[in-house]
Structure 1
Amino acid sequence: MKVEEIEKRLRKYLERDRSGIRKTLIGILLDGNKYTTEELHRKLSENGYELNPRGVSAMVGLMSARLGILKVEMGEKNRYYLKKEYEGLVSSILREYDK
């Protein structure tokens, strides 16, 4: 997928983010670490978001399959992380949404 297409999809994804949870989740993933859905659920809960772990699974699944910005490290528990090649793009788009 081309960078322009990923940028367009990411912008649409964030425009529909009424609560800010999508932006927060992407911000968590920007730190370069790998997370299980349980760890992401805990971090989102610590930020005041109320959703179940399955909701987090759905969000990371969509971000991986539809947006193409996440990678999955398969194992007993899958770990998700932001693809290195999109860190700059994602970071700059998030900064725009912080304004």
Structure 2
Amino acid sequence: MRAEEIERRLRKYLERDRTGVRKSLIKLLIEGRKYTTGEIHEMLKDQGFELNPRGVSAMVGLMSARLGILKVEMGEKNRYCLKSEYLDLVKNVLMEYDSKNL
């Protein structure tokens, strides 16, 4: 998938973010660590989001399949991280999104 297509899809993904949970998830992933969906669920819950673990799995799955920006490290528990080649693109889109929604 081309970077322009990923950028367009990421913008649409963030535009549909009613609660801010998608933005928070992306901010976690920008940190560069690898997370299980359980770890992501706990971190988002700690930020005050009311989600169930299946909802987090669905969000992560969509980001991986539709947006193509996540790398999956398979194992007993799959770990997800942002693909390094999309780090700058994601940061720029998020920065632009934040400036529009102040």
Q: Does the pair score TM above 0.5?
A: yes
* Separation (CA, whole Å) in 1 of partners of 2:97 and 2:47: 18
CA deviation after TM superposition for structure 1 residue 49, in Å: 0.3
Aligned residues: 99
Runs of 4+ deviating beyond 2 Å: none
CA–CA distance in structure 1, aligned partners of residues 55 and 65 of structure 2 = 15
Let me know the Cα RMSD of the aligned residues. 0.5
CA shift at 1:98, angstroms?
A: 1.3
- Is the partner of 1:49 in helix, strand or coil? coil
Shift of 1:96: 1.1
Q: Which amino acid aligns with 2:19?
A: S
Match of 1:8 in 2: 8
Structure 2: gaps of 5 or more residues: none
Equivalent positions of 1:14-93 (< 5 A) are 14-93=14-93
TM-score (norm 2): 0.96
Q: Return the letter of the residue paired with 1:91.
A: K
Q: Which residue of 1 aligns with 2:98?
A: 98
Tell me the distance in 2 between the aligned counterparts of 1:82 and 1:48: 23
Deviation at 1:97, TM superposition (A): 1.5
Alpha-carbon separation, structure 1, partners of 2:56 and 2:4: 26
CA offset digits 1:14-56 (Å, max 9, x no partner)? 0000101000000000000000000000110111100000000
SS in 1 for 2:17: coil
* Deviations, residues 33-81 of structure 1 (Å, cap 9, x unaligned): 0000000001101111000000000000000000000010000000000
- State the percentage of identical aligned residues: 72
TM-score (norm 1): 0.99
